[in-house]
Chain A
Amino acid sequence: MTDFTTIKKNLKKDYSSFKGVKLALLGDSATQLFRIALRGCAFEDKIDLDIFEADYDQIERMIFDTASELYAFNPDFVVIFQSTRKLKHRFYKLEKGGADHFAEIHLDFVQEAFTTLNAHLRSKIIYLNFNELDDREFGNYANKIAISFLYQLRKINFELMTFAQRHPGFFICDLSYLVTQTGSQNATDEKFYVDVDLHFTPDFFVVVAGNILDIVNAAIGRMTKCVVLDLDNTVWGGIIGDDGMERIQIGDYQLGKAFLQLQNLAKQLKERGIILAVCSKNTDSIAREPFEKHPQMVLRLDDIAVFVANWENKVDNIKYIREVLDIGFDSMVFLDDNPFERDMVRTHIPEITVPELPADPALYLDFLRNENLFETVSFSEEDRTRTVLYQVEADRQKFKRTFTDEGSYLLGLEMECDVEPISSFTLPRVAQLTQRSNQFNLRTMRYSEDDLKKMIDSGRFFTLTFTLRDKFGDHGLISAIILEDKGDGALFIDTWIMSCRVLKRNVENFVLNEILELARENHFRSIIGEYIPTPKNGLVKSLLKDLGFVSRGSGWYLDTGLEISQAQYIKKTIYDNGRNN
């Protein structure tokens, strides 16, 4: 764990090349150290975090006075930190008989605060839940009685989760979990609370700040998409090539439990949409055997999207895995017990995350928990099936090799595409695409589900989603378009994103035809496009030009009267006019 003194030194460093993010910090206790921890941690994540720290104990005024400095600051994120001790004070001041409604009253406040913020800002709200604290006036009986503070506190934490599920723009920083994991003795210091109203230790503020930045990172599209696993002494104990399948350690017995825990984590990650790959120095057939035959293995071959076991160096193998998956190194995590391999990978691929796993496998899980490597801001049905998508992609690659020309390959794929406006079913996936897509993304606008709902409700926007199938299976929703009516017959491409899985499928041309059709039906005369360069979207730098748009000033224009060559490889299966109401 990095301590506060070390993190604070970052403040003197140069942040100027980093991505700028604006964050407002509202607290009902002393927050200066919290602010320093946030700014210091942001350096580690290459974010130039511009922080507005509200005056002491001004949460209500800042939020409910919409002329306050908070609204003038117009942050990307609002962090609300109400401390448990202040909550307890309010609880003790309640009128007699009010205790069993305490959680409801607090949730009413959260609801009202969120509604007010949401009506005036486009910020995401990060709310810290409450660490457990109980004066034990009922002892353990507090669990059995609704008027105890402990009961009400836990109810608030539970109801906050329910609230967060209903409001996509509302995120919880799980302070309660963090205090449990860190230990209350390490997280708090009574004398600082008494003397200067500092509710946590400086070092613990670094833990909290780090977690808030995890949420920020995920919200700006930086998240783990793939875990690359070493095998020997990482996924099981022992060396499969030497010890043989009977003697490797995996299962319910002694050290086998440590590896079982890691496999369980990997399996859960796969279930929630993180791709698993294997990168091992082994003979392929020997490395695969436990996945096929070992009765205690949790991971099976169909859990692994890319399996690489050979005697080449791991740097080249990881580069190969990245190529097959077509994701950035910065969205990959490499787990290996061997410090030499870790160092080699880290040196040659600086963008990849290589956790410094402890030497004792029994500590792997506890270490990984504290690293919090798998933060996300969304979860959709599609996440569950991602591994299959990549495995099917490998089959397609084999099929492709049987064709000599591109055209007959594309025809042979028998592609079909559903074209629809965003619906309540596809809204989460589209929001997720806007958050995750970095490469095929013309303007890299990040939208939450709430943002999208607001845009659609405004009536100024047209949307299109594309769901693709071929003879090998479903690709799912692979492209989304958001078009804005700019008046004067001009339709502006606010967002054009596409999953890189379907590159070189002629989908771009198909999508453009659909945009044109929509524009003509709604009597637009021109379509305006814009490319906003980022370090990652060079892929679409010349997209508009290649599709026939003409550069005029800062924008790219396409006359809707022009005939564009038809994409004849994809069959359209559903049509809707793109108006969402």
Chain B
Amino acid sequence: MTTDEIIEQVNEIFVEVLENQAIRINRETTAADVPEWDSLNHIMLVVEIEKKFKIRFSSGEVGGFRNVGEMCEAIRAKMQA
């Protein structure tokens, strides 16, 4: 799966968890760009992404990604591992 394909699937999770149909994320998106993306919802996003891609983030990663691109690169790397 390419990073762009992953972003597409992660977008579905954002729409579902943040309960906002209008959300469109890309590589550069950060929490500051999405009003609903607060620290609580971030945990939910992590949980749902882990379930969907059957991966586990590590402790530093949960709060450490600078943007959606970095997060989805990490997902891709974990899926290949």
Contacts and interface: CB of A to CB of B under 8 A. Distances in A.
Interface of A: 4-5, 8-9, 12, 32-33, 36, 190-192, 194-196, 198, 201-203
Contacts, number: 37
Interface of B: 16-17, 19, 39-40, 43-44, 47-48, 56-59, 61-63
Contacts of B16: 5
B29 to A, nearest CB: 20
Contacts of A32: 40
Nearest to B41: A8
A194 B47 contact: no
Given A191-B57, A191-B59, A5 B43 contact: no
Nearest to A11: B19
Contacts of B47: 4-5, 201-203
Interface of A is mostly: helix
Contact of A4 (B44, B57, B62, B63): B44
A436 to B, nearest CB: 39
- Listed residue (A5, A32, A196) with the most chain B CB atoms within 10 angstroms of its CB: A5
B44 A192 contact: no
B43 A194 contact: no
A5 B48 contact: yes
Given A32-B40, A202-B43, 13 more contacts: A4-B44, A5-B47, A5-B48, A36-B40, A190-B59, A191-B56, A191-B57, A191-B58, A194-B59, A195-B59, A195-B63, A196-B62, A202-B47
Contact of A198 (B43, B48, B56, B57): B43
A32 B47 CA distance: 16
B43 A33 contact: yes
A202 B57 contact: no
Contacts of A194: 59
Contacts of B40: 32-33, 36
18 contacts: A4-B47, A5-B16, A5-B44, A5-B48, A33-B40, A190-B59, A191-B57, A191-B59, A191-B62, A192-B43, A192-B62, A194-B59, A195-B59, A195-B62, A196-B43, A196-B62, A196-B63, A198-B43
Nearest to A202: B47
A280 to B, nearest CB: 41
Contacts of A203: 47
B38 to A, nearest CB: 10
A12 B16 CA distance: 14
Given A195-B63, A196-B39, A202 B58 contact: no
A8 B45 CA distance: 13
A240 to B, nearest CB: 44
